[in-house]
Amino acid sequence: MHIVHTIADLRRALKPATLRAFVATMGNLHQGHLDLMQIARAKASQPGAMTVASIFVNRLQFAPHEDFDAYPRTLERDCELLAANGCDVVFAPSEKDLYPEPQVFKVHPPAAMADILEGEFRPGFFVGVSTVVHKLFNCVQPDITVFGKKDYQQVMIIRRMIDQMALPIELIGAETRRAENGLALSSRNGYLSAEERTEAVQLSLALKAMIAAVKAGNASGQLDVAAIEAQAMQTLTARGWQPDYMTVRRQYDLSLITGVCDEPLVVLGAARLGKTRLIDNLEI
């Protein structure tokens, strides 16, 4: 496995590739990331195909009060894990390598997609995500890219960016890897205390309860989405959480529904447990 730090070295390493399968990460890898790499490896099975992972903590998607400086950097361990899971090239640029001058050209996804849910509580987040992902796509020039569906809104926005920009990339959305108790794996789970880690599963349980209520409401013709969302918020608040949102949306564009709906839906939640903010979602 090659580890490169500059765009020029990356392009030299990838020049012989007949197909490129790419996984973008911020490092501090867990099994969910490795699942993405294994999917990329399976897709890059033809002779001469190469798999690529990036490791870059992107300042552009962190607000001033967020945990950019504290975000764990575990490059040596990450590279060992990637090598063991079929990665051919790791691109681990410094900020100076990827942003040699201030990144004043940015990708601004439309407000209807980017200023709701995560974008409402993290203003500018998806501008930072879209900008770095587009730049990484330009550096790697992948044929295939794999993103985890735990970041549901992010996958939707990147998929639409690929379509709108006519990028010749196939995006694969990978299912969320969970612990045995149902907790979605996340790099931020490392911030949780042992007691909080036990409690953290309540977020996914609240989402499951929302699904049950949605199905019951659809079946009876009496679907009250606002009441279902309010009940989920109250359930978590009563347990000491600080929920930002617990919501039912259309899968296609994350738009609101107001009554009985037979389209594919998704329930999404974001809530703070102690000092750690967790997100999760489940498709219906």
Q: Which two tokens stand for residue 243?
A: 């929920």
Distance (Å, whole) CA 60 – CA 127: 8
List all residues 6 or more positions away from 202 whose beta carbon is below 8 Å from its beta carbon. 235, 236, 239, 241
Phi and psi at 54, nearest 5°, equal -105, 145
Annotated catalytic residue 2 = no
Phi and psi at 62, nearest 5°, equal -105, 130
Q: Which two tokens stand for residue 229?
A: 């969302």
Instruction: Looking at the chain, list the stretches that DSSP marks H as alpha helix, in order from N- to C-terminal side.
Output: 7-14, 31-43, 75-84, 95-98, 111-114, 118-121, 125-140, 152-164, 194-199, 202-220, 225-238
Residue of 2, 5, 30, 33 with catalytic role: 33
Q: Which two tokens stand for residue 158?
A: 């990147």
Distance (Å, whole) CA 227 – CA 214: 10
Helix, strand, coil percent values for the chain (each to nearest 5): 40, 20, 35
CA quadruple 253, 259, 264, 265: dihedral, nearest 10? 70
The catalytic residues are 33
